[in-house]
Structure 1
Amino acid sequence: MVVPMTFLAVDWGTTNRRVFRIDDGAVVASERDNKGAASMTPADYPAEVAGIRARMGDLPMLLAGMVGSTIGWREVPYVAAPAGIAALADGLAWVDERTAIVPGVAMRDPANPDVMRGEEVQLLGAVDAGLVPRDALLCQPGTHCKWVWMEDGRIARFTTAITGELFALLRGHGILARQLTGAVTAGDAFREGVRRGAARDLAAALFGIRAAKVLGYRDDADAASHASGLLIGADVAARLDEERGAHVHILADPTLGTLYASAIDTLGGSSALIDSRQAFVAGITRIQEHHA
């Protein structure tokens, strides 16, 4: 099936979605909203896709992310790691002759099973655009943080940590919730948390936030930063154990990316922030070109 060089691409996450009109590899129009997969039923998608075309152009469309999951439009089988652009393009699930869903990638290892949907487009796009080397360690912070080892330009293996989700749960429930209402910044309290989190006694360290409050050792204004540092520090330390002094390429927005960069630097690694939007556009364009 031939896909023209002008097309629509949708990065359809659990909570949000981003739509791009791409012309010869350049974004000429885009929109972002909160109509993620979690807010929709399979019956909603045809009308949503028609609405996107009405607003952005009556063009072929590639959909990536949770749209292809069990909570999305239809479940698309994962391709197995190691995986590159060709594997994703060959695994496209065509809803109709002009609409296809990009598959995710799976680690089919009974001892360490793992899955991703949506991140694979950014990862491979980052390599294709020359934003990262073909052999590199990448980190995609978020609700479910991905740590990915790229080898020869392909996703070789990866690990998912629910670091962001744990922080959200702590903020919303339990004994620490009232203390974690402040902003998270990469200051002294955060870095202290990173170093403590690296010791891996995470459950005890988290209760220490409560004890520090009761005994007057820490102001609650710093509690959220410290808790974030504990969680991110434990996550980063586990990954850096595999590669001492590693250089990590971080695909994230500047706010979250800065936190991970600070944690990586604090624990002896080095890092570089990569434009995740540019990486997605490069990756989805390469998938499209595979059929052009």
Structure 2
Amino acid sequence: MFIAVDWGTTNRRIYAIDDDGAVTATLRDDRGATAVSDYPAEISAMRAQFGDLPVLLAGMVGSNIGWRAVPYVRAPAGAEALAGALAEVAPGVFIVPGVSWQDGDRADVMRGEEVQLLGAVASGAVAGDALLCQPGTHCKWVQMAGGRIARFTTAMTGELFALLRKQGLLAAQLGGAVENGAAFRAGVAEGARRDLAASLFAIRAAGVLGLRDDADAAAHCSGLLIGADVAARLAQADGQVVDILSDPALGGLYQTAVEVLGGTARLHDSQTAFLAGITRIRELAQ
């Protein structure tokens, strides 16, 4: 048995996993990397609750805002490479390294997503050669090759939407719900034009002139941003199916956007992928 932690910036999910790979207990809380200063105490509390077990940590806990900045493994990278580069930060406590990619002066990094990606392949949910999308604050688009992370692109789609909702000219209009309906789909189609700065201002104009109810503005704005992101990736996808690792709500928006723009998408549960990935890394490290 072991304890696995998907430790993000603002929250974390803790799992107790038995020798057969089954989850025997789980806990989700807001003790993300930015909320923790005494990591050894956090580990002691976990072991007190789940048992005195080995601990495998993934995500922002291994960054410069976490417990220790663990060096990235350079892509292409598979589960074997990650298992071989685990960092022991306390007795029986290991951090999974992130993955970096570089092509000339173009570079990208990830922490935590790599476990889901490799887990999706290890579980058989996706093929070893696949195009994967992980929606979120920073959306990852990843080309898998031979079961390894070959290259990837991060788009700040979710963060841009959050910033537009919080401040700036459009903030007052973007208080409505983001629903997977006509306004979102129209936004996706508009976003595919990739004239994003102008399309965003048009939200303001549509509200002022009464062309669109402000209750639909947030959905339309989300569609614009996701549509621009998806259109750029589909242009490079060469007809590949997009395998989306996400929860149903956000993943459903991306699936709709892919389909509106003429592609094909399949939705997979990101938590299931994480568990498969962290279990595989643990097996390879033993």
Shift of 1:291: 2.4
Letter in 2 for 1:10: V
SS in 1 for 2:149: strand
Are positions 1:270 and 2:270 aligned together?
no
Q: Which residue, out of 249, 253, 268, partners 2:247? A: 253
SS in 2 for 1:223: helix
Q: Which residue, out of 11, 31, 46, partners 1:35? A: 31
User: Are 2:191 and 2:199, in contact at CA under 8 Å, matched by a contact in 1?
Assistant: yes
Q: 1:138 matched to which residue of 2?
A: 132
Name which structure has the greater RCO, CA cutoff 8 Å, separation 6+: 1
CA distance in 2, matches of 1:99, 1:216: 58
Q: 1:13 matched to which residue of 2?
A: 8
SS in 2 for 1:290: helix
Q: Deviations 1:108-163 (Å, cap 9, x if unpaired)?
A: 33422000000000000000000101100000000000000000100000000000
User: Are 2:130 and 2:240, in contact at CA under 8 Å, matched by a contact in 1?
Assistant: no
Shift of 1:49: 1.1
CA distance in 1, matches of 2:206, 2:102: 43
Letter in 2 for 1:8: I
CA distance in 2, matches of 1:188, 1:138: 26
SS in 1 for 2:70: coil
Are positions 1:162 and 2:156 aligned together?
yes
How well do the aligned residues superpose, as a CA RMSD in angstroms?
Answer: 0.8
CA distance in 2, matches of 1:272, 1:57: 37
Q: 1:103 matched to which residue of 2?
A: 97
Aligned identity (percent) is 67
Are positions 1:74 and 2:68 aligned together?
yes
Q: 2:21 matched to which residue of 1?
A: 25
Q: TM-score, normalised by structure 1?
A: 0.96
- Structure 1 residues without counterparts, runs of 5 or longer: 1-5
Task: Detail structure 1 runs of 4+ shifted over 3 Å in the superposition.
Answer: none
Query: Which sits farther off after the overlay, 236-245 or 143-152?
Result: 236-245
For residues 120-131 of structure 1, what are the structure 2 equivalents within 5 Å?
Answer: 120-131=114-125
Shift of 1:38: 1.7
SS in 1 for 2:152: strand
Q: Which residue, out of 184, 188, 191, partners 1:190? A: 184
Are positions 1:58 and 2:49 aligned together?
no
User: Are 2:131 and 2:243, in contact at CA under 8 Å, matched by a contact in 1?
Assistant: yes
CA distance in 1, matches of 2:187, 2:169: 18
Are positions 1:147 and 2:166 aligned together?
no
Q: Which residue, out of 220, 231, 252, partners 1:237? A: 231
Shift of 1:244: 4.1
Q: 1:3 matched to which residue of 2?
A: none
Are positions 1:287 and 2:278 aligned together?
no
CA distance in 2, matches of 1:105, 1:244: 24
Shift of 1:40: 2.3
Q: 1:201 matched to which residue of 2?
A: 195
CA distance in 2, matches of 1:75, 1:243: 33
SS in 2 for 1:189: helix
- Structure 2 residues without counterparts, runs of 5 or longer: none
SS in 2 for 1:218: coil
Shift of 1:15: 1.0
Q: Tell me the matched-pair count.
A: 285
Letter in 1 for 2:5: V
Shift of 1:243: 1.7
Letter in 2 for 1:22: I
User: Are 1:141 and 1:256, in contact at CA under 8 Å, matched by a contact in 2?
Assistant: yes
Letter in 2 for 1:205: S
CA distance in 2, matches of 1:213, 1:108: 42
